[in-house]
Amino acid sequence: MMLNDQNFETEIKNQDKLVIVDFFATWCEPCKMLAPILEKVANELKDKVVLMKVNLDDAPQTAGKFNVDRIPTVIVFQNGQPITGFVGIANESAIKNMLNNIVNGKNPVHEEYAELCYNYAISQGFHLNSDKKITDRVINGLFENEKKYGKKYCPCRRVTGDIEKDAKIICPCAYHKDEIAKDGHCFCNLFVK
């Protein structure tokens, strides 16, 4: 299905499957190389995903909204929201793995962030909470705050709107080391002793 500035939002929100959006231009050679790969993957996973295409000439506002400044750009939407994607050409197996991970409840962006948190914790002499439900809840909250406020503010603290004050609660917040030393965990339980 072809999307443009007029139908983009409605079509994306009306899907109950993952939506792969291929931003392309007719003059773009890499776009032409990626298109059959996306079509093959979408066909093989048709019960789980739907492929939609956006010609940049027909959707300059939409491209601007999603910061599409290079093509091909692929953005994957779930429940009307962008959750991951890539720029350039990717091979079939990488695209399938990405989509299957999402379908199976693994958000690749969140998984990457969890790994960054794990590495940060180890480098600081503490640990990432081993309870995956807790880490998933906190990381989901961080990404929700990023969507809402533009920064990964700790989901267990109140965002005031004062940029200077709120800078202290960007994860890892200014308080986490003292809380771990005192209580054995940070306030939101993402990091533990």
- The catalytic residue positions are 28, 31
Q: Hey, what are 21's tokens? A: 């959006």
**Residues 123 and 174: beta-carbon distance below 8 Å:** no
Whether the upstream peptide bond of residue 36 has omega within 30° of 0, thus cis, is: no
Q: How far apart are CA 10 and CA 14, in angstroms?
A: 6
86: helix, coil or strand? strand
Q: How far apart are CA 74 and CA 107, in angstroms?
A: 16
Task: Supply the DSSP symbol for 70.
Answer: S
Q: How far apart are CA 112 and CA 123, in angstroms?
A: 17
